[in-house]
A and B are shown apart, each in its own frame.
Chain A
Amino acid sequence: MASAKNLRPQGAEKPVFDINPVLSERVTHYCPGCHHGIAHRLVSEVLHELGAADKAILVTSVGCAAFAYDYFNVDCLEAPHGRACAVATGVRRARPEAVVFTYQGDGDMAAIGTAESLHAANRGEKITAVFINNTVYGMTGGQMAPTTLVGQKTTTTLQGRNFHSEGGPIRLAEIMAQLQGVAYAARCALDSVKHVKAAKKAVRRAFDVQIAGLGFGFVELLSGCPTNWHMDPVAANKRIATDMIPVFPLGVFRDVEGE
């Protein structure tokens, strides 16, 4: 009978993997198959690699990621719904030496907080915004988000999102890329190993431009929400590739150093 103990490396073998210390060991409240866990790990690994955790300040949002402060071992400040980029502006102006980032969902950043997000970006605030796009309001139980796909069924679009009465999904990365103050804007997906590796690079770059003082760093991460998509995690993962990426193309839309 194999116990966990028997499976541990014996003798002089070195561990090949450890959870980075910026990510807390607390069990998350996220649903099975949710991609917040991957996104948290990418952000925490980048902070760890940059050696920036001790001067990092996370401004949390409202939505499923409201409790992100439980999972990042950094100083955290709660923002009202949608206002994380404005709160982060105040933090940045008060603490110019800090590494300031927000972590926001699509309702928070692309609906109620559009004004605060776009204007912080346009001012070129030296902050990083991690934007989770899962096309649905998760925390409140599956209502339509500004990023909901046309035809997608939610609890407030029972017949599917109707383009003629509800409009189409907002492509925030492309909008951000139009703003002069944005130093980096990219969209990645978290549905495959290849995409996750690319996402890690993008998150890193979104922090690099802040630390280099180049401007606002933005990265959009296409994520799955099996619970509110009414799918199992495998099917949800597939939906990102089949339904979301055609509407939300992956890529780097702005990088001031690459221009």
Chain B
Amino acid sequence: MYRLRLVRNHVPGYGHTGVQKRRGGHRMNTGRMPDRILAKGNEALAYGAVDAGLKCYFGYPITPQNEIPEMLSALLPECGGSFVQAESEVGAVNMLIGAGACGVPAMVSSSSCGISLMQEGISYMAGSHIPGVIVNMARGGPGLGDLGPSQGDYFQAVKGGGHGDHRNLVLAPATAQECYDFMFKALTLAFVYRNPVMILGDAVVAQLKEPVRRVPPAGADTPEYLESLVRDQRIEGYGARGKAAAPRLLKSVYLAEGELAGRNRLLQKKYAEMRGEALFECEDVDDADLVVIAFGSIGRIARSAIRRLPGTGRKVGLFRPITLYPFPEEALRKLAPSRRFLVVEQNIGQMVEDVRLAVNGASPVYWHGVMPGLFIGADELVEPILRALG
């Protein structure tokens, strides 16, 4: 509560939320509240969640994401939603299964080791076509690791993490503003595909305080629209559909021979459609000799490093994947023939595998790893970039 009081005192508009009750579309800022606020990534996420119409939050304390449950414990009940501090991450993700199956916008948040505990539930969500958002403000690992920035959860987020054949949609914000905006995007994706969506950040994204424009992004969907997308699949008590309506069942178990094959073909079809959702940001790649590929906080630091490069006459661009799944491989493939690539990531080499698959040998792919828990400056990336330029 100490931190929350701090937020209430220092963030204009927080505490008297300044958020109007819904009038058709999104709850919008009132005149009392400025559009621009100063917020950490975690706080921006919490604001984004309530502004996007979140109904249920479930979570268990873990650093560095604690501002999310702390803020939502105050904000969500004010907006008519439900907040539960679960007994564990296992409990939290299973509550998400329940709320998601009922077709309401719901989320959990945690960090690395907590996400490991949630992976069973995420697999069940994928198998049962249940929408929901999972925020992972990652920490260093393996094991209990440390609390500093790390991108060691790329595999855990992108390659499924849990058991069985399934995919999560994964968004990687780099700024507090993106934390706010991506809550809307994540809920939309979750409901359009009835699939778990993960937002993957780290301690830098979570804790960096910066100006955020607290206005729903253009074209953001209303919670009413999202709920209408699952009207024909949600669990609600059959009476809601008429006295003689047939009961509904959401499940992931299919024991008869061939049954699971059919279900997984359905998933495969959905994942093929999801590939159209790839997002990325490019800077100066058109006539670049070298393109640096980095996501999240390292993407920001790489941009600063590129700006600091001494004039060599060689051009360096930046490619920042925003969706880690689907990976923006088509865009990379188009850049490949005449450029070399340098992947910079804060782990021992994870995203580089997807880059190499996308480029498929068409041009050289170099890699520079930053160890977890280190807060690096842009100057530390200058030398690796110059080396890759050759």
Contacts and interface: CB of A to CB of B under 8 A. Distances in A.
Partners in one complex: yes
Interface of A: 53-57, 59-60, 66, 69, 72-80, 83, 86-95, 97-99, 115-116, 119, 123
Interface of B: 55-56, 58, 82, 84, 86-88, 90-92, 94-104, 106, 120-121, 124, 128, 235-240, 243, 247-253
B121 A99 contact: no
B82 A93 contact: yes
B247 A95 contact: no
A183 to B, nearest CB: 19
Closest 10 CB pairs of A and B: A90-B98, A54-B239, A86-B94, A90-B95, A55-B237, A94-B102, A119-B87, A78-B251, A83-B94, A93-B82
Contact of B243 (A54, A59, A66, A123): A54
A56 B239 CA distance: 9
B55 A78 contact: no
Nearest to B100: A90
B124 to A, nearest CB: 5
A75 B252 CA distance: 15
Nearest to B85: A123
Given A77-B98, A77-B101, A91-B99, A83 B237 contact: no
A57 B237 contact: yes
Given A80-B120, A93-B84, A88 B98 contact: yes
Contacts of A98: 236-237
B91 A86 contact: yes
B94 A77 contact: no
Nearest to B91: A86
A10 to B, nearest CB: 31
Of the candidates A66, A93, A119, the one having the most CB atoms from chain B within 10 angstroms of its own CB is: A93
Nearest to B132: A90
A23 B96 CA distance: 28
29 contacts: A54-B239, A59-B98, A60-B251, A69-B251, A73-B247, A76-B247, A77-B97, A77-B98, A77-B101, A78-B128, A78-B250, A78-B253, A86-B87, A87-B95, A88-B98, A89-B84, A89-B91, A89-B98, A90-B98, A90-B100, A91-B98, A91-B99, A93-B95, A94-B99, A94-B103, A94-B104, A95-B235, A95-B237, A98-B236
Given A76-B247, A86-B86, A89-B84, A54 B237 contact: yes
A60 B56 CA distance: 21
Nearest to A54: B239
Majority SS of interface residues in chain B? mixed
Contacts of A56: 237
A162 B136 CA distance: 44
Contact of B236 (A73, A80, A88, A95): A95
A79 B95 CA distance: 10
B98 A86 contact: yes
Nearest to A89: B95
A94 B237 contact: no
A69 B58 contact: no
Given A80-B120, A87-B97, A119-B87, A94 B55 contact: yes
A69 B92 CA distance: 24
A90 B106 CA distance: 9
Of the candidates A53, A54, A72, the one having the most CB atoms from chain B within 10 angstroms of its own CB is: A54
A74 B238 CA distance: 7
Given A86-B90, A87-B95, A90-B95, A66 B253 contact: yes
Contacts of A116: 87, 90-91, 94
Contacts of A87: 94-95, 97-98, 101
A249 B84 CA distance: 34
Contacts of A57: 102, 235-237
B239 A55 contact: yes
A176 B219 CA distance: 49
Of the candidates A74, A83, A98, A115, the one having the most CB atoms from chain B within 10 angstroms of its own CB is: A83
Contacts of B88: 115
Contacts of B252: 78
A120 to B, nearest CB: 8
A77 B87 contact: no
B237 A99 contact: yes
Contacts of A78: 124, 128, 249-253
Contacts of B251: 60, 69, 76-78
Of the candidates A60, A86, A92, the one having the most CB atoms from chain B within 10 angstroms of its own CB is: A86
A95 B250 contact: no
Contacts of B94: 79-80, 83, 86-87, 89-90, 116
A76 B237 contact: no
A16 to B, nearest CB: 26
Given A57-B235, A91-B98, A99-B237, A74 B247 contact: yes
B32 to A, nearest CB: 30
